[in-house]
Amino acid sequence: MRVGVVIFPGSNCDRDCLGVSRRVMGWETIACWHRESLPDDLDLVILPGGFSHGDHLRAGALAALAAVMRDVIAHAKRGGLVLGICNGFQVLCETGLLPGALRINRGLRFICEDVWLRVERRDTAFTSAIPDRAVRFPIAHREGNYFAKPDTLKRLEDNGQVLFRYADAEGNVSEASNPNGSVNGIAGIMNEAGNVCGLMPHPERLSEDVLGGTDGLAVFESLRSALGAAL
């Protein structure tokens, strides 16, 4: 099983993703520089968090034009799995692999804290191993306010493409539990085909006991199950 972690100038969570993939999951993992081509035989591509190109223009806008993204798009269109975390989610929206956009947080401030998430589906490649309860993931972003036009939002909801919503510890979704103003409390979505997922919270940052919890590891365990079934 081979995994590629794409690195842009300004990525700062690439080491976290490489560590989880290589050391915790035991996957063969390749660091892929943004100017280079992806290996042809990857099973999973991860776009990590950070501030690619300093968030100039818009978060993820310049990274979406990188040479490597042509290969990421081709990988996704072949049915390959793609996981975009935080800045990676922003990049996926900028490329059109995922619908919608990430705007500046409602409070106009950078937010760095743990949040609770309600998992809306557990029958996907990204969520099948997540326990049946609210899970705790960290967030660290200034442009995490998810927005989509009403028709796009309706399609996402009707198709079951919303995977994560901000919630309280009991899994209740409310304005009080929404840290950034995201429409419908959306924290993460997937594409219609179910092979591309983007989320603002960071599962890799709570994937080992030494980090204070392992809720995030369930995302990678889900991917292991999906990849194992496919292989």
Active-site positions? Answer: 86, 202, 204
Q: Which two tokens stand for residue 57?
A: 């223009």
Q: Write the CB contacts of 172 (distance below 8 Å, at least 6 apart in sequence).
A: 118
Measured CA angle at 59 (ends 111, 105), to 5 deg: 35
Measured CA angle at 84 (ends 49, 43), to 5 deg: 125
Nearest alpha-carbon partner for 83 in 135, 29, 36, 136: 29
Q: Which two tokens stand for residue 220?
A: 């990678």
